[in-house]
Structure formats: structure tokens, C-alpha cells
Amino acid sequence: MSELFGKFVSGFCSHLGDVSVSGASDGPLKGLSFAVKDIIDVEGVVTGVGNPDWFASHGPAPRHATVVQQLLDAGADLAGKTITEEFAYGLIGENYHYGTPVNPRAEGRIPGGSSSGSASVVACEQVDFALGTDTGGSVRVPAAFCGLFGIRPSHGRVSLRGIMPLAPSLDTCGWFAREAALFRWIAPVLMDWSDKPAPTRVLIAEDAFDLVDDDVRDALGPAIARVEALFGAAKPIRPSERAGLAGGFPQWQQAMQVTRGSEAAASHLAWIRATNPEMGPHFRERFEAGGDYGPTDIADAMSKRAMIDGYMAGTLGDDAILLVPAAPAAAPPARAEEALYDQLRTRNELYNCTAPLARLPQVSLPLAETADGPVGLGVIAGHGNDEMLLDLAVAVAG
């Protein structure tokens, strides 16, 4: 079915027309431009969420999302809204209705999603930075595929007011940038910044690296060495075997699928059934599958999530970081067979569910390249230690 997603386009939402707002006359971000994913409200503009029927049936947003207002107040200029996969429920970056945003770092390959347009416009140097959202990897994976810095903040650190929910207990609003210094500079505008010490312990998730392509593992070797040179030798651990869940990462994945699926269905399935919108292949099925989970399934997922959360909190504390691959492979070709995309989704979800389930911050650092394109090093810290990761990004980038 993926051949239906054939059109490559600019990452900006051309169907919205000109969407631009000037920032304040002064502020720490004066002179910089940004874009926002089209699930984030901009006053006077319909938030289209990647679906034409949603766009046609909803009115303009009455006010800016909190994050948009914060950036404007800091002097940044809004340059436009960007393409998202429908309802932000995807990892590939293709949109059946509006096309696939360009990945300038890997010609002919997907940008990753669901924040595909935001990653694309930053990688194409059309804006200085862009906002995306990350529920299951929608900032971290596009950042890796497009060679960008990207962050999924700790759950609750960045406001979600004025942002369409997908799975509220997992949703976060993050951002992309090309330069480490700007990547870090954005953070005090969007969150209450509190200086944190550098990490004193470095951990590496061997079981996560077991799941990735050999070329990704090899390419990330020098990046890991750069982190070790600054913060100490990495101690190998295997989180999937230590959190108390028999069955390892597949149990983590199941907790993620039930949590995200049931919450996504609660957010949007009633509207989908009432409206019967045209949707790209497989998107309606994801919401319907989420609606099939019952109370027993949800209670089981909550129990597993609590075990994962507790294990990660105890393992990381306030002084450790955990290294993982930001994505399990370089960007696959666009218009690939759906089976290839499903393999990517599965491998990503097995270990990249860690930060969402435990409400943790994770950055993607653009420190490596394969023959097929960029790959990123993922770094996770304890809840609330976003500042540690942002300062680390600057230090590692040199």
C-alpha cells in the first residue's frame, strides 16, 4: 500500500496557505524562525492534524498553543505549519493526502514521522528550528533519519495546552534543531530551567543495541566513545531482563501498544466513527484496534508500566544517562513495502518505548552516518533531568 504515498513535497502545509506570525520586538530568540507541526494550534488557523476531513469540519484555533505563544514572546518568528502523519499516529512520515516531506540528508528515503514536516523544514534549512510531538518516537526517529538534534522532554515539562492529544499519558512536545547551541537555547523558553550537574554514570542498553542493524551499531561506536571520553566508561546493562517482566522487551512493547492504542481510541475513535473520514491505509485500523482493548488489558498494561517506571527511576536516579540507538536503522526507502515499515515500527517500539512508558527525557544526537544516511545516538536521563541532556548535547557536539 505504501506506493500510494508517492508524492515528495515541502514539509510545510501548502493547503493552509501563508501562516506566519512575527515574534516580539526583543527576546532571546529574536531573529530566529520556527515552524510547528499541524497538531499545534496557531490562532486564526485551522489545526488540520494531517486529515482533510478534520480540517474541513473544524474552525480556526481561538488562540495560540502555549508553546507557540512562549516562542513568539521570546522574539522568534513563526514561519508556517508542517505536515504530520494523520492524527500524529505514525512513524514513517508519509501522508496519504498531502505527500511525503523531503529528507535532504537521505535522498529518496523517508523523513520519519509523525513529525515529518517539522524535521524536513529544519533539515532543509527553511527554518532555524521546529516543534514536533513525540508519543512513541515521533521526534526521536525523524531527528535520527534527518541528521538533527531532537528531544522528547520529560512528560509534563513542556506545556501541551493547545496541542491535539493522541495518547495523553505518553504525549510530549519537543523540538528539532541543526546546531547544539540553539537546541539547548530553546529549552529555557519552553520549560522552567534549573541547572543540573553533568552525569556521573554512563549506562548502555546492550539489549537495545542487539535489535539494530549492524551498520547502525558500527556507526554509533565513535559517538559512544565521545560520550565516554567526557563522562566516563559506559557500563553495559540489559533493562529488558531486569525490570521484573518475564518475556523482556515484547512485554514492554505490549504495555506501550495497549496504553497508546486505548488512549488514542478514547481521544478520536468516536469522531472517526461518527464522521467516517477518508483516511490513509491502516490509520483507521489503528484506532479501531485501540478501541478493542478492555479494562483487563488496560489494567495489565498499567501494572507493567509501573514496573518499568520503577526500574528506570531506580536505575538512572539523578546522576546517570542511558545510551540507546535513537532509531533501529537508517531511513528506509520511500514507497517501500509495508512489511519493511512494519519491521521498523516493531524494532523501534521494542526499546524506544522506554522513555514514554517511564515519562523520561530522551535526546537524539546526530553523531553518525551510514551508507544509507544519518543515524542518531539516543540518550535517556531520569525524569526532570532534561537540562542534563541538553547540556550534554552541547558538550558532545564540541
pLDDT band at 265 (very low <50, low <70, confident <90, very high): very high
How much is the mean pLDDT over the chain? Answer: 96
Amino acid, res. 63: R
Side-chain-side CA neighbours of residue 4 (13 Å): 10
Bridge partner list, 169: none
| Class of residue 316 by CB neighbours under 10 A (exposed 0-12, middle 13-18, buried 19+) | buried
Q: What is the pLDDT of residue 257?
A: 98
Whether residue 5 has pLDDT greater than 80: no
Whether residue 2 has pLDDT greater than 90: no
Whether residue 1 has pLDDT greater than 50: no
Is 37 catalytic? The answer is yes
Q: Average pLDDT, stretch 293-313?
A: 98
2, 116, 118, 138: the active-site residue: 138
Q: Mutual orientation of helices 249-275 and 295-316 as an angle, nearest 10°?
A: 130
How many percent of the chain have pLDDT more than 90?
95
Q: 0.95 exceeded by the pTM?
A: yes
Q: What is the pLDDT of residue 240?
A: 96
Q: What is the pLDDT of residue 22?
A: 98
Residues 311/313/314/316 CA torsion (nearest 10 deg): 110
Whether residue 131 has pLDDT greater than 50: yes
Angle (CA) 392 90 208, round 5°:
45
Is 303 catalytic? The answer is no
The length of the chain in residues reads 398
Q: Average pLDDT, stretch 320-348?
A: 96
Q: Average pLDDT, stretch 307-335?
A: 97
Q: How far apart are CA 177 and CA 139, in angstroms?
A: 11
Q: How far apart are CA 74 and CA 90, in angstroms?
A: 31
| Helix residue ranges per DSSP H, the chain | 52-57, 66-73, 116-123, 140-146, 180-190, 206-209, 214-231, 249-275, 283-291, 295-316, 338-352, 354-358, 386-397
Is 14 catalytic? The answer is no
Q: What is the pLDDT of residue 199?
A: 98
Q: How far apart are CA 262 and CA 26, in angstroms?
A: 44
2, 33, 81, 114: the active-site residue: 114
Whether residue 173 has pLDDT greater than 90: yes
> What are the grid coordinates assigned to 138, written together?
515521533
Neighbours of 1 (CB within 10 A): 11
Q: Could you tell me the domains of the chain? A: 2-190 (3.90.1300.10), 201-397 (3.90.1300.10)
pLDDT per residue over 59-105, tens digit each?
999 999 999 999 999 999 999 999 999 999 999 999 999 999 999 99
Q: What is the pLDDT of residue 360?
A: 98
pLDDT per residue over 213-252, tens digit each?
899 999 999 999 999 999 999 999 999 998 889 899 999 9
Higher confidence at residue 335 or residue 201?
201
Side-chain-side CA neighbours of residue 208 (13 Å): 27
Whether residue 392 has pLDDT greater than 60: yes
pLDDT per residue over 174-214, tens digit each?
999 999 999 999 999 999 999 999 999 999 999 999 999 89
